[in-house]
Amino acid sequence: MIACGNTEHDEDDTQFRGDVIQCEEAVARLERCCGATFNANVVECRHYYAKDTGCNQTTIDKIDPAFTLDESKCIQDTACDQIVSSNMCARAAAAGAARITKYQSNDNTITSSSSTTSTTGGSAATNAPVCP
């Protein structure tokens, strides 16, 4: 087997990012407001990015926090009584899986997919908006 030359690898798994920190703050707010009805462990607030290029092919794997930056800020800015009365606790738990995107291209084809499959096992359907 002949190995392909000129491969490049770019990886970023830093968790000290605004979207990750804001997601964690939103989860803390939900935990305070929802109490025992909300399991904070089901919400994935993490980031990962990897790009591999070589052999006329590019592959990108990307994981973003379960909540977007705007959604995280909205949760933080919403009063606890409104969070509970609008059923935001249940929607947040249902949307807890990280957002995963995979992209692959070569000289002839491009393949892209997105999902909310949990990186800790299990899966979720496409996330409905959590906030408002």
pLDDT at 120: 37
**pLDDT score for 122:** 32
Q: What pTM does this model have?
A: 0.74
Q: For the ranges 2-11, 15-24, 46-55, which has the lowest average pLDDT?
A: 2-11
Q: Are 65 and 20 in contact (CB under 8 A)?
A: yes
Per-residue pLDDT, 110? 55
User: Residue 55: which H helix or E strand, with range?
Assistant: none
**What are 29's two structure tokens?**
């707010």
Q: Rounded mean pLDDT of 13-33?
A: 93
Distance separating the N- and C-terminal Cα atoms of the chain = 55
Q: What pLDDT is recorded for position 28?
A: 96
Residue 52, phi then psi, degrees to nearest 5: -120, 130
Cα separation, 5 vs 48, in Å, equals 25
* Cα–Cα–Cα angle for 108, 64, 85, rounded to 5 degrees: 135
Lowest mean pLDDT among 73-77, 79-83, 98-102: 98-102
